[in-house]
Amino acid sequence: MARYDVPKVVVTGMGLVTPLGNSLQETWNAMTVGVSGAAPISRFDTEKFDVKFACEVKNFDAGQFLHRKEIQRMDMFTHYAMASATMAIDDAGISFDILDRERIGVVFGSGVGGMWTYHQQQKIFNEHDERPDRISPMFVPMMIADIAAGQIAIRWGLKGPNYATVSACSTSAHALADALMLLQRGDADMMLAGGSEASICPMGLAGFSAMRALSTRNESPQTASRPFDATRDGFVMGEGGAVLVLETLEHAMNRGARIYAEFSGFGLTDDAHHITAPAEGGEGAVRSMKLAIKDAKLTIEDIDYINAHGTSTLYNDKNETAAIKTVFGERASDLVVSSTKSMTGHLLGAAGGVECAATILALYHGVVPPTINYSTPDPSCDLNYAPNIAERKEIRAALSNSFGFGGHNATLCFQRFED
């Protein structure tokens, strides 16, 4: 349904915890020089696993953001959420005491929620002869995927719309799209939106390994995530969190906020094809990109950069490339397309949020982060992927693609803010 006379929405703050750094600036600095976050897994013994590496968050101190009791009563995915939210609020220069907290909401998701908590409590249950009284009363509140959104609201007293999205690897992109709609409807003046994930645990690694979805380059983890390269052999698990502060333009201007970009549109579709494999030719992705451009009231001529889903899997990369070529036709060769998953790994439910932040910073700074580990061209992947080196480029508008198991497709559109 067409929307008329909706307010402009802008991005005024961002907070990140990623395998590349524990802040927005650390992550961006690493992205622009092409650093890989992959390394041997440090949290558990991988001797029995075929895959022994991932993109873990490193040197993260939850105590910088949470009290000791809070840390104990939250899963790691919520630690990342709270840290990202704290940094995003600081980055946006928000003083909640002078704002209407009933007009500020949170949409924040996780693809799988508290996997570490589930793993630990299941282990306790089994070790104590399956006695129910050995399970922590905090088990469910720590595990459920919506709890991060609730915890963010509780910490800052945010009483506007609040819920979680869950759509696999497009989770946080859907959270951002929903937040945009709530602002455009007039249901809020400001929204915190994004996602977090902390599923690099024995069950998480075993599950994705069983699907044969992961790269097995154990001898060279830092070169394992190689989107669009002919020798790609699967994705690399990642973890972390991302929060973006979204506001109506009027609200942002009234409080004198710094504006990173305008969040101008989105497209949401489903392949209705297969539980894990994308539709041939990226048919669903074609529609999501077209819808995002239309929703932003732009044309293909206005788009200069695409932050690709770019998982480093055989089928995603060739079908996403095909989808881009279908949407953009001859203009596809003028675009820069890059996959920051080559550096961060695949953050699953948090991927869209991190990648939107990268897209916005590319717009803001005029620098496209590279696709690293690109060495062998694939005839089915023949676009400009900013191979190995960041590319300076004036960007007017950009897309960020996120696709998830179940056929979910989300494309978000951001454009340079003009006073």
Catalytic residues: 169, 309, 346
Give the total residue count for the chain.
419
At residue 373, φ and ψ (nearest 5 deg) are: 65, 25
Specify the 3-state DSSP secondary structure of 168.
helix
CA 190, chain centre distance (Å):
20
Helix residue ranges, H only, 2-156: 24-33, 68-72, 76-92, 115-127, 139-143, 147-156
Angle at 117 between CA 191 and CA 18, to 5 degrees: 50
Q: Which secondary-structure segment (H or E) carries 162? A: strand 162-163
Strand-pair category, 240-248 with 53-54: unpaired
Residue 342 tokens, joined:
């080559």
- Between CA 198 and CA 338 the distance in angstroms is 24
At residue 324, φ and ψ (nearest 5 deg) are: -60, -40
Please answer whether residues 162 and 107 qualify as being in contact, where contact means their C-beta atoms are separated by less than 8 angstroms: yes
At residue 377, φ and ψ (nearest 5 deg) are: -60, 145
Q: Please state, in angstroms and as integers, the Cα–Cα distance from residue 17 to each residue in 32, 142, 158, 194, 371, following that order.
A: 16, 19, 22, 12, 20
Other CB atoms within 10 Å distance of the CB of residue 140: 13
Residue 306 tokens, joined:
């695409």
Contacts of 334 (CB under 8 A, 6+ apart): none
At residue 389, φ and ψ (nearest 5 deg) are: -135, 135
Contacts of 321 (CB under 8 A, 6+ apart): 228, 282, 337, 380, 381, 382, 383
Q: Please state, in angstroms and as integers, the Cα–Cα distance from residue 187 to each residue in 206, 267, 299, following that order.
A: 42, 21, 29
